[in-house]
Amino acid sequence: MNLSGALETGFEGLTLYPGWIDPAAQRALVAALEPALAVAPPYRPLMPRTRKPWSIHQTNLGSLGWLSGEQGYFYGERHPVNDAPWPALPPALLDIWSDLAGYEAPPECCLVNIYQGEKARMGLHQDRDEMALDAPVLSISLGDTCIFRVGGFARSDRTKSFRLASGDVMVLGDPSRLRFHGVDRIIPGSSQLLETGGRINLTLRRVSEPAGSR
């Protein structure tokens, strides 16, 4: 791991650790994901209102998974297609959380977003479906570089873009925890990490408030 420190983003609480995961650790993490993705195969979620499929594939790891359904966005304990429990979080992800989150409890969810092709993107959104909104969200990039955009606390606020490369870790914590953010596009061929190309984004989340936190 690269312990050289964080890159200044201009937003308090939004911290970027470029190259935090070195190439060997990236390869090991991809290998650790393979059996988990076999248990919880990536699928294309549908938008709650329009039922239009997303441009990315998605799955989850951990005791809870983030889901999109007719009732909106929510967390659930089972895969929506095969009804299997989500696979456990690999120890390497728990180590990254322990190193960077600065939070008293471990993550309960790792949302896995898989970007393939030039049309894969993620619109501006807030991560606000968790009860533990005092916990940060850790975003881990593997594979092709993406153009990541972050704004304010309203969708119409001005935005700023960053390039997130393979091995980078971004932390969205207070007071930037609820900033709008999204992925405009990926840059094909910018990494050789993934055999099929594209980008894997892992976001670690604490969903429930720790016992005794109130």
Q: Give the Cα separation of 175 and 136 in Å (integer).
A: 10
175 with 13: CB under 8 angstroms?
yes
pLDDT at 132: 97
Could you tell me the pTM of the whole model? 0.94
pLDDT at 118: 86
pLDDT at 172: 97
pLDDT at 137: 98
180 with 126: CB under 8 angstroms?
yes
What domains, with CATH codes, occur in the chain?
14-205 (2.60.120.590)
pLDDT at 214: 58
Q: Give the Cα separation of 96 and 20 in Å (integer).
A: 9
Helix (H) or strand (E) holding 112: strand 109-115
Helix (H) or strand (E) holding 102: none
Both tokens of 34, joined, read 């393979």
pLDDT at 1: 41
Secondary structure (DSSP) of 32-101? HHHHHHHHS--B--B-TTT-PBPSSEEEEESS-EEEEETTEEEEESB-TTT-PBPPPPPHHHHHHHHHHT
pLDDT digits (tens, 9 = 90+) for 142-173: 999 999 999 999 999 999 999 999 999 999 99
Secondary structure (DSSP) of 169-205? EEEE-TTSTT--EEEEEE-TTS--SSTT-SEEEEEEE
Using 50 as the pLDDT threshold, list the residues of the chain that sit under it. 1-3
